[in-house]
Amino acid sequence: MTASRDKIYNGLKHRVAVTGMGIITTLGAGKKKNLSGILEGQNAIKEITSFDVSGYRSKIGGAISNFNFSKKLKQLQSSRLDRATKLLLTALDEAVAEAGFANGLPSHTPLILGTTLGGMLSGEAYHRNVVFGKKAKPSLLLDYLAHYQAIHIAEEYGLHGAAFTISNACASGTNAIGLAYHEIGAGNVEIALAGGYDTMCEFTFAGFNSLQALTQTLCRPFDKNRDGLVLGEGAGIIVLEELSHAVSRNANILTEIIGYGESSDAFHITRPDPSGDGAALAISRALDSAGVNASAIDYINAHGTGTPYNDVMEAKAIQKVFGSASKNIPLSSVKSMIGHLLGGAGAVEAIITIMAMNKGVLPPNINYETPDPDCPLNIVERLGQKAFIKRAMSNSFGFGGANAALVFQNTNV
Amino acid sequence: MTEEFVITGIGIVSPADIGKEAFWGSLINCKSGIKEITRFDTRGKKSHLGGEIRGFDLDAVFPDKRFRRAANTSKYCLASAKLAIDDAGLDSSKWDGTKVGLVVAVTHSAINYSREFHAALIKEGPLAASPLLFSDSVLNAPAGNTSIAFHIKGAAHTIVGGIPAGLDAIGYAINIMKMNDLDICLAGGAEEIDSLVFDSYARFGLLSPGDRFQIRPQEEGIKPFGIDRNGFVIGEGACVLVLEKNKTALERSARIYATISSFNTTVNLKTSKSPKIFRAMPVDESIYLSTGANGTAHDSTEAEILKTEFAKSKKPYIGNIKPIIGECFAASSITQAASAAMVLYKAIIPPSTIRHDLTSEMRWGRFNASEENIEVKTAIVSSIGLEGEGSFLVLKRQIG
């Protein structure tokens, strides 16, 4: 197969460009801070202060400190919003402004978001009131429900199109971008907003702690001595646009999305299928839909959680699809620096991948010291490694066996 | 959307009854599953009714010990999926799972498991936090469990949304079938009644007898489009539909309930000016319209939209299943779709559940007092959520 985009695969009719991106992680708000932090290999993981971690073995996370939300809202009341909505609005503003829609998006623009827990901080407050016998504000229930963030955003931006919330655990953000890609590719819409988010909250922390999935030291994706993940928080939003539409309005084209694949493990509610078959199916579907073969990929942004289970499964999946090329294609996971953003991971990592492509520098996989013979991959160890990245893949895998992969291509148009 | 996808299986776990035919019997006989809530104490509260599923035993439908600790949301979903797969004449142990997908819509999902997990954490600390509760509290647990149970490897998705989310699951399922070239996709919705959710909606004044939207205080119960409607009654359950490529369904001579003609979803209907939902509304034919009105103020929004859409059409038959099952959120709208598909297939229109005085915006419809044997070609499912989000599905009778 060739990489020609004259033909668009997977039955789609239209090419899909990215014309705007917004991001907020523990590295800060905005693409600039995130790109420089990532490329400098900044470990932004700190001790968590937003709740008491003294009873936990792990005490660290990628929380966003000093987050001051000062956006002047037209429709919503800031004091009533969950932190998740504020993170989303921050990322959205950046993405929408970059795409040139600061004065308003077409009202039918669909909004497709991925999240694992929605407004869980509001849920925690609600639960706490109930446990202590106090009357909880019923409005907390609405912020708690995971689809209300999308409803609030649509209200604030005056959107009347679809507002979809996908909750496929840690693959949610990638699934959201995949759906938006498909909607534009199929010719159903010309512009779409897609992304993902999740907040740092004790509920999730305690859950991952109970599953013994959290490291007490460092997140070391693909390292032989890796012993768990670190949770993070944040949001990532992408403006997707039909390519000729973007060209006709002279929009800045950041990259092209050329492929998306997904699958389900049907194996276990929390553990990935150790064979890697499910993940391999998603990856190969992404390549098939892109119309490129495995050797055409110049960089893989791995899911790489740093848990013993995930990383070896992902390595197996990559080996199955990429064969001997799996030892050569540069690969890294940025979770070692910003943590695992769960529903936000796929979107944030897609944005980091696109920024790295455009900068021509590979994101490092920090904390990697001891190679694992079960993960024989070309891990990006050094900082500032320059590379011509024409095509990149971003992987996401989640609880419940959700697998998803995206393929980006920098194309001259 | 094209007309290349069809409904070939229906599985229903509803307060009225379990199983497609039993549910249909409830519609024909207007037998409601709404009763006094027994799962928690409603003394001292304004509302006391609920559409609870009583005497449910997953083992009777799908005996599999792996799911015995799962939340009811998952169990209802598992049972509905099994019923739907059987109804479609399929065997999940024999299918190529990579060609099968799943989309489950939830609104609150296993909020009871989240509460329990968090309560233990608050009261006793991190060591008391149960990994079993946590893994089944996540929003995609029903889809995860269902994909595991039935070897669904093509894709497994969870849509979180309000009342219309069950229809969104159908729309999304069509999308992922195209995206991944799947032959089959299960689309479902699942919900369970939880005391916290009940209390919250009661305090919002949304539950009958509510005080926020009441026009004239009346007795408790759902009165869709009623002039004296006073809120909804909460319900629970699940419904799963087997969607299939028309081509493969025909090849295996499957029973086809209906063809999926179009799907449309939108938000902010409350502020949207004259949204045009349907591209072309048939003018001369009889249409069955399954409405989502649940006895709240939002019924007016739905009535206004539908009135505009049907302005030039023959009076449609107005159906509404909420007085039978209650407001089951994400599970409601997909159960509406199931009932509409059965209307098309059986060529029978059940008696309308709407017997009360109607709000002026809705007096244009046809409310049949008893069942009618009519071959309608088109059934429309309408669902509008509490925040003005709406989804609409058009089904067609399979010809030939």
Output the domain CATH number for residue A297: 3.40.47.10
- Tens of pLDDT, residue by residue over B194-244, are 998 999 999 888 999 854 444 444 467 899 999 989 899 999 999 999 999
CA nearest to A166 within chain B: B159
pLDDT of residue B274 exceeding 90: no
Count of structural domains within chain A: 1
Tell me which residue in A123, A182, A207 faces B175 most closely, judged by beta carbons.
Answer: A182
d(CA A312, CA A374): 6
SS3 (DSSP) at A371: strand
Residue A410, in any domain of the structure: no
Q: For residue A311, give both structure tokens.
A: 């990383």
Pairing relation of β-strands B390-396 and A163-166? Answer: unpaired
pLDDT of residue B88 exceeding 80: yes
**What is the reported pLDDT for B59?**
96
d(CA A97, CA A239): 10
* Stronger pLDDT, B165 or A70, i.e. the higher one: B165
Cite the active site residues of A.
170, 303, 340
Residue A409, in any domain of the structure: no
- Tens of pLDDT, residue by residue over B91-111, are 999 999 999 999 999 999 999
What average pLDDT does the segment A174-182 reach? Answer: 97
Q: Of A75, A131, A134, A147, which to mutate for an interface test with B (greatest number of B Cβ within 10 Å)? A: A147
Under the banding of pLDDT at 50, 70 and 90, the label for residue A5 is very low
Under the banding of pLDDT at 50, 70 and 90, the label for residue B357 is confident
Quick check: A108 and A189 in contact, CB under 8 A? Answer: yes
DSSP B258-309: EEEEEEEEES-TTTSSS----S---SSS-EEEE----SSTTHHHHHHHHHHH
* Stronger pLDDT, A38 or B274, i.e. the higher one: A38
Under the banding of pLDDT at 50, 70 and 90, the label for residue A88 is very high
Taking each helix axis from N to C end, the angle separating A202-210 and A120-131, rounded to the nearest 10 degrees, works out to: 90
SS3 (DSSP) at A403: strand
Instruction: Give alpha helix (H) positions in A339-384.
Output: 345-359
Mean pLDDT of chain B: 92
pLDDT of residue B361 exceeding 90: no
Q: Return the half-sphere exposure (C-beta side, CA atoms, 13 A cut-off) of residue A247.
A: 11
The Cα of A271 is separated from the nearest Cα of chain B by a number of Å equal to 10
Residue A354, in any domain of the structure: yes
SS3 (DSSP) at A32: helix
A-B interface: how many C-beta pairs under 8 angstroms?
204
**What is the reported pLDDT for B219?**
64
Quick check: A405 and A286 in contact, CB under 8 A? Answer: yes
**What is the reported pLDDT for A9?**
56
What average pLDDT does the segment A225-238 reach? Answer: 98
d(CA A247, CA A205): 44
Under the banding of pLDDT at 50, 70 and 90, the label for residue B400 is low
B196/A281 touch (CB, cutoff 8 Å), yes or no: no
Residue A281, in any domain of the structure: yes
SS3 (DSSP) at A352: helix
pLDDT of residue B41 exceeding 90: yes
Quick check: A371 and A46 in contact, CB under 8 A? Answer: no
Q: Of A85, A129, A145, A231, which to mutate for an interface test with B (greatest number of B Cβ within 10 Å)? A: A145
Quick check: A299 and A328 in contact, CB under 8 A? Answer: no
A207/B161 touch (CB, cutoff 8 Å), yes or no: no
E runs forming strands in A94-135: 111-115
Instruction: Name the nearest CA neighbour of B126 among A199, A54, A339.
Output: A54
Residue A406, in any domain of the structure: no
The Cα of B67 is separated from the nearest Cα of chain A by a number of Å equal to 10
Residue A303, in any domain of the structure: yes
**What is the reported pLDDT for A413?**
52
Residue A207, in any domain of the structure: yes
What average pLDDT does the segment B286-301 reach? Answer: 94
d(CA B30, CA B369): 10
Residue A88, in any domain of the structure: yes
Residue A51 structural domain: 3-401
- Tens of pLDDT, residue by residue over A262-275, are 999 999 988 899 99
For residue B63, what are the contacts with CB-CB under 8 A and spacing of at least 6? none
A95 touches chain B (CB under 8 A): no
d(CA B69, CA B227): 44
Maximum C-alpha span of chain B: 66
Mean pLDDT of chain A: 94
For residue B384, what are the contacts with CB-CB under 8 A and spacing of at least 6? B163, B164, B269, B292, B293, B298, B301, B302, B305, B390
**Is B314 exposed, middle or buried, given 0-12, 13-18 or 19+ CB atoms closer than 10 A?**
middle
**What is the reported pLDDT for B312?**
87
Q: For residue B346, give both structure tokens.
A: 């059986």
What average pLDDT does the segment B36-51 reach? Answer: 91
Q: For residue A75, give both structure tokens.
A: 């429709």
* Tokens 């960089």 found at: A299
Q: For residue A51, give both structure tokens.
A: 């709740």
**What is the reported pLDDT for B281?**
79
Taking each helix axis from N to C end, the angle separating A277-290 and A308-322, rounded to the nearest 10 degrees, works out to: 40
- Tens of pLDDT, residue by residue over B247-269, are 999 999 999 999 999 999 988 77
A228 touches chain B (CB under 8 A): no
What average pLDDT does the segment B26-34 reach? Answer: 95
**What is the reported pLDDT for A2?**
31
ipTM over 0.85: yes
**What is the reported pLDDT for B215?**
43
Domains of chain B, earliest start first = 5-259 (3.40.47.10), 261-396 (3.40.47.10)
- φ, ψ dihedrals at B291, nearest 5°: -90, 160
CA geometry: angle at B320 spanning B316 and B324, to 5°?
150
The Cα of B126 is separated from the nearest Cα of chain A by a number of Å equal to 6
